[in-house]
């Protein structure tokens, strides 16, 4: 139904990654409305993103993090590292340091959430900046294999693969829920 998932905790997706890699730009393409209460707590900005995937509508609660709210949340029990039921880890293909940070975030997640089998998608964003690419698609893919997560390259500016990214997230969440 239309309200499918609105109140279901397992639809909370957290975006992680270095400043400037394009997290807010990616979520801006699908966000519908902002959760004021969460924004006021400033732990993360929370958006509703509703997608029709395989003939079924699902609303994700997407939490967009940044440096400020990550620092603020790091000591608290409601850190984005603990809150998410699924994660999108973003780096920029034009910024090798952000690629290395993505690996660190994956390791941190594994440490924080050891026993859980959490859906994670590694995202190489800014593929439109062809001439300033520093991380190849092969490197991204290999990293995802090592870290046992899905991988996709996107361009928020061209809106390339962004739909596919969020659809992939919905499918992964559904698979876990169904215990497949």
Q: Taking the complex as a whole, how short is the minimal distance between the CB of residue 70 and Mg ion, in angstroms?
A: 11
Contact between residue 166 and residue 30 where contact means Cβ atoms under 8 Å apart: yes
Binding residues for ligand GDP, rule: CB under 6 A, are 17, 19-25, 66, 125-126, 128-129, 155-157
Using CB under 5 A as the binding rule, whether residue 66 contacts Mg ion is answered as: yes
Quote the CA–CA distance of 179 and 86 in Å, as a whole number: 15
Provide the mask over 111-130, with x wherever binding to Mg ion is found by CB under 5 A and - wherever it is not.
Answer: --------------------
- The binder of 5, among Mg ion, ligand GDP, none, by C-beta within 5 to 8 A per type, is none
- The binder of 20, among ligand GDP, Mg ion, none, by C-beta within 5 to 8 A per type, is ligand GDP
Q: Taking the complex as a whole, how short is the minimal distance between the CB of residue 15 and ligand GDP, in angstroms?
A: 8
Quote the CA–CA distance of 90 and 140 in Å, as a whole number: 11
Using CB under 5 A as the binding rule, whether residue 24 contacts Mg ion is answered as: yes
Degrees (nearest 5) of the Cα angle 152, 127, 129? 165
Q: Identify the three-state secondary structure at position 174.
A: helix
- The binder of 129, among Mg ion, ligand GDP, none, by C-beta within 5 to 8 A per type, is ligand GDP
Could you tell me if residue 83 is left (phi over 0), alpha (psi between -120 and 50 degrees) or otherwise beta? alpha
Residue nearest to Mg ion (CB): 24
Q: Taking the complex as a whole, how short is the minimal distance between the CB of residue 98 and ligand GDP, in angstroms?
A: 9
Nearest to 126 by CA among 164, 104, 102, 95: 95
Q: Identify the three-state secondary structure at position 27.
A: helix
Contact between residue 47 and residue 31 where contact means Cβ atoms under 8 Å apart: yes
Residues that bind Mg ion (rule: CB under 5 A) add up to a total of 3
Q: Judged by CB, which is closer to ligand GDP: 22, or 119?
A: 22
- Tokens describing residue 107: 């390791």
Residue nearest to ligand GDP (CB): 22
Which residues here bind Mg ion, judged by CB under 5 A?
A: 23-24, 66
């Amino acid at each position: 139904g239309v309200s499918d998932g609105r109140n279901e905790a397992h639809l909370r997706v957290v975006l992680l990654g270095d400043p400037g890699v394009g997290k807010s730009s990616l979520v801006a393409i699908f966000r519908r409305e902002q959760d004021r209460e969460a924004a006021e707590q400033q732990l993360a900005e929370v958006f509703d993103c509703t997608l029709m995937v395989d003939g079924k509508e699902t609303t994700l609660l997407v939490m967009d993090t940044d440096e400020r709210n990550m620092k603020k949340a790091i000591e608290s029990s409601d850190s984005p590292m603990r809150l998410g039921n699924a994660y999108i880890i973003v780096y920029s293909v034009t910024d090798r340091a952000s690629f290395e940070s993505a690996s660190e975030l994956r390791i941190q997640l594994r440490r924080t959430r050891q026993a859980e089998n959490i859906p994670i998608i590694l995202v190489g964003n800014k593929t439109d900046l062809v001439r300033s690419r520093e991380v190849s698609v092969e490197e991204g893919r290999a990293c995802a294999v090592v870290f046992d997560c899905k991988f996709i390259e996107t361009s928020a500016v061209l809106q390339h693969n962004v739909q596919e990214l969020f659809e992939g997230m919905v499918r992964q969440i559904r698979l876990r829920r169904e215990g497949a």
